[in-house]
C-alpha cells in the first residue's frame, strides 16, 4: 500500500472525523501563517521601509501581498513536495538537532571537563558521527528520490516535465533578489502613486 506525502492525505476520506482533522489543520495553517511568515516579511520590509515613509501602511500591505503571492507560486511550481520535505528534514534535523547542539555542548564544557571517564565527550562523538551519517545518507536518499521523481515524470509525460521545468526555471529566475526588490519597488511606487492621486 502506498502512502501520500502529507499525513493528512493518508487519512480516510469517507470518515467525518478524518475530514474534520483536515479542516482543522487547514485552519491552523491559515491562523499561524502570519506568525511563520513574519521573519521573511521583517527582513524584506526593513530593507525598503525608509523609501516609503509617506504611505508606509499601504506599502507594507503591498509587500505582504507580494511575498504571499511568491510563496503560493512556489507551492504551485513544486506540486510534489514530499522529497523536498525529506531533503530539508535530513539536512536540518542532522545539523540543527544533532551536530550543532553537540558542538555547542563540547565548546561550553571544554574548560569545565567532561565528567567521569570523559563520558560526555564520548557521547558527543557518537552523536556527532550519527548526525553526520544521517546528514549524508538522508540527503543522498532524498536527492536520489527527487532525481527519480523528475526523471520518471520526464519519461512518462515529457510535456508535463517540460512545463514543470519551465515553471521552475521561471520561479527561480523570479527569485533573483535584485529582480524581486525592483519588482516590489515598482509595485509599491505604482500603488502609492494611485493612492496619492485618489487623495
Residue 190 forms part of a structural domain: yes
The answer to whether 191 and 62 have CB atoms below 8 angstroms apart is: yes
For 166, residues 6+ apart whose C-beta sits below 8 A from its C-beta are: none
Residue 153 forms part of a structural domain: yes
Range of the domain at 162: 8-198
Residue 26 forms part of a structural domain: yes
Q: Residue written as cell 524584506?
A: 44
94: three-class secondary structure by DSSP? helix
Each residue's pLDDT, cut to its tens digit, for the chain (199 residues) gives 577 777 787 888 888 888 898 899 889 988 888 788 888 888 888 888 888 878 888 888 888 888 888 888 887 887 777 788 888 888 888 888 889 999 998 888 887 777 777 788 888 889 999 999 988 998 888 888 888 887 876 565 555 545 555 555 555 555 555 565 666 566 656 656 655 665 5
Residue 87 forms part of a structural domain: yes
Task: Tally Cβ neighbours within 10 Å of residue 62.
Answer: 19
Residue 58 forms part of a structural domain: yes
The answer to whether 123 and 109 have CB atoms below 8 angstroms apart is: no
Residue 2 forms part of a structural domain: no
pLDDT of the residue at 129: 92
* Dihedral pair phi/psi, residue 98, rounded to 5°: -125, -60
Residue 1 forms part of a structural domain: no
pLDDT of the residue at 100: 92
Give the gyration radius of the chain's Cα atoms: 23
Total tally of structural domains belonging to the chain: 1
Amino acid at each position: 500500500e502506498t502512502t501520500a506525502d502529507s499525513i493528512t492525505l493518508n487519512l480516510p476520506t469517507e470518515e467525518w472525523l478524518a475530514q474534520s482533522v483536515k479542516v482543522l489543520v487547514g485552519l491552523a495553517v491559515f491562523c499561524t501563517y502570519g506568525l511563520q511568515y513574519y521573519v521573511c516579511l521583517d527582513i524584506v520590509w526593513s530593507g525598503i521601509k525608509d523609501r516609503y515613509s509617506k504611505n508606509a501602511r499601504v506599502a507594507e500591505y503591498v509587500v505582504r501581498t507580494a511575498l504571499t503571492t511568491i510563496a503560493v507560486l512556489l507551492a504551485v511550481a513544486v506540486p510534489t513536495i514530499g522529497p523536498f520535505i525529506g531533503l530539508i528534514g535530513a539536512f536540518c534535523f542532522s545539523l540543527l538537532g544533532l551536530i550543532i547542539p553537540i558542538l555547542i555542548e563540547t565548546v561550553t564544557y571544554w574548560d569545565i571537563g567532561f565528567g567521569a571517564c570523559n563520558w560526555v565527550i564520548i557521547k558527543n562523538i557518537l552523536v556527532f558521527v550519527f548526525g553526520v551519517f544521517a546528514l549524508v545518507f538522508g540527503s543522498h536518499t532524498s536527492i536520489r528520490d527527487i532525481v527519480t521523481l523528475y526523471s520518471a515524470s520526464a519519461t512518462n509525460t515529457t510535456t508535463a516535465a517540460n512545463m514543470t521545468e519551465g515553471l521552475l526555471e521561471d520561479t527561480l529566475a523570479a527569485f533573483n533578489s535584485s529582480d524581486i526588490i525592483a519588482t516590489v519597488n515598482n509595485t509599491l511606487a505604482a500603488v502609492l502613486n494611485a493612492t496619492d492621486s485618489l487623495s
